[in-house]
Amino acid sequence: MAEHKYTRETVTSITQWVPHKLFSFSTTKPAGFTYVPGQFARLGLPLQAAQDSSPAIWRAYSMVTAPQQDGLEFYSIVVPAGEFTPRLAQLRVGDAIYIDKSAFGFLTLDRFEPGGNLWLIATGTGLSAYLSLLQDPNTWKLFNRIILVHGVRHEEELAYRQKILEWVAQGPAADGATGFTKLDYLPIATREALAHTPQERITTLIANGQLEALANCALDPAVSKVMLCGNPDMLLEARKLLSERGFAVGRRGNPGNLAVENYW
Ligand SMILES: Cc1cc2nc3c(=O)[nH]c(=O)nc-3n(C[C@H](O)[C@H](O)[C@H](O)COP(=O)(O)OP(=O)(O)OC[C@H]3O[C@@H](n4cnc5c(N)ncnc54)[C@H](O)[C@@H]3O)c2cc1C
Ligand SMILES: NC(=O)c1ccc[n+]([C@@H]2O[C@H](COP(=O)([O-])OP(=O)(O)OC[C@H]3O[C@@H](n4cnc5c(N)ncnc54)[C@H](OP(=O)(O)O)[C@@H]3O)[C@@H](O)[C@H]2O)c1
């Protein structure tokens, strides 16, 4: 029998964040599956709900977990008219999911020189890739400060908020070291008011300087590295604003200070 490029894995847990809209799930990890934090897997589901059908629909999903953790975790939206996510949302613990044997993607820290400040800017489920980075203790050793900005429509969509606040207070538990005071978390909602941040798009807050004021940190291309992930329109606008300030994606052999990943 021909060897497949994918393996059949099992769903091991499911967390609902916002019913019918946002959820996370964990799976077994394919034997020998390796990845760098920030990379994505290709997940496959059969067209039919039958457990033994071959996978026919594939979508990219950033890993939430760090490579040294057991299993894999993913964070997903449900797009009601989508082909994949309504099926994904029906999976239950014990069901099968197919995972490509290779991981992909360049939203990784090797794009940057170490040092300075790392800005992780996401809308919606674009947060996923940053959770993998933040769960890797190595990330915390590379930069003086990390500023995580998560933009959503409504407060309830601030998934993983409690876990992130624990990291703000303690650093990643896996590391065991003390003195982690360098993660700042800026949750931003655009369609309702939050207590400590303005009800504005992230791009507006970059343009008017409020994001820097909230973080008490300059977006200075000499010392800052920025990752952008999520809504392609946000990426386009943020990228334009940042390039006007001197941020640029790296070229071969020449590390940059900007890395970008479109989710659709
Ligand atoms: C590199 C990469 C990594 C990704 N990682 C994730 C991830 O970690 N979690 C995740 O939920 N999705 C992620 N996606 C998106 C994912 O691959 C699918 O597009 C998504 O699961 C929807 O699939 P669908 O077939 O239901 O709808 P699709 O037919 O794929 O998309 C239909 C429409 O839904 C909207 N849409 C798609 N994805 C999203 C999203 N994530 N948030 C808001 N609106 C969306 C867009 O308007 C899109 O045109 C990633 C995409 C890429 C390219
Ligand atoms: N959340 C809902 O109630 C709702 C309703 C209908 C459909 N949906 C489904 O959910 C998907 C949207 O998911 P989502 O809410 O996670 O993603 P989203 O639409 O990308 O919104 C996430 C955040 O990104 C902001 N944003 C959007 N475009 C931007 C831009 N050009 N520049 C700067 N910021 C920008 C949004 O601000 P704004 O609020 O200003 O847009 C919001 O704060 C749709 O594709 C649809 O399938 C959701």
Backbone angles phi, psi at 225, to 5 degrees: -120, 135
User: β-pairing, 117-123 with 224-230?
Assistant: parallel
Q: What is the DSSP string of 197-219?
A: S-SS-HHHHHHTSHHHHHHTS--
Q: How many helices (H) and strands (E) does the chain have?
A: 7, 11
pLDDT digits (tens, 9 = 90+) for 132-177: 999 998 999 899 999 999 999 999 999 999 999 999 988 765 555 5
Residue 259 buriedness (CB in 10 A; 0-12 / 13-18 / 19+): buried
**Cα gap 218→37, rounded to integer Å:** 25
> Is there an atom of ligand 2 within 6 Å of 20 CB?
no
> Ligand 1 centroid vs 179 CA: distance in angstroms?
37
Could you name the CATH architecture of 109-262?
3-Layer(aba) Sandwich (3.40)
Ordered by start, the domain boundaries in the chain are 6-100, 109-262
Give nearest CA residue, ligand 2 atom 27.
234
**Cα gap 118→99, rounded to integer Å:** 30
> Is it the case that residue 1 has pLDDT exceeding 60?
no
pLDDT digits (tens, 9 = 90+) for 38-68: 999 999 999 876 666 789 999 999 999 999 9
Q: Which fold has domain 6-100?
A: Elongation Factor Tu (Ef-tu); domain 3 (2.40.30)
User: β-pairing, 96-100 with 6-18?
Assistant: antiparallel
> Is it the case that residue 178 has pLDDT exceeding 70?
no
In this prediction, residues 94-107 reach a mean pLDDT of: 97
> Is there an atom of ligand 2 within 6 Å of 202 CB?
yes
DSSP reduced 3-state for 73: strand
Tokens standing for residue 202: 């992230």
- Please give all residues whose beta carbon lies within 6 A of any atom in ligand 1, as ranges: 40, 59-62, 74-77, 79, 82-85, 105, 124-125, 128, 261, 263-264
> Is it the case that residue 235 has pLDDT exceeding 90?
yes
Give nearest CA residue, ligand 2 atom 20.
231
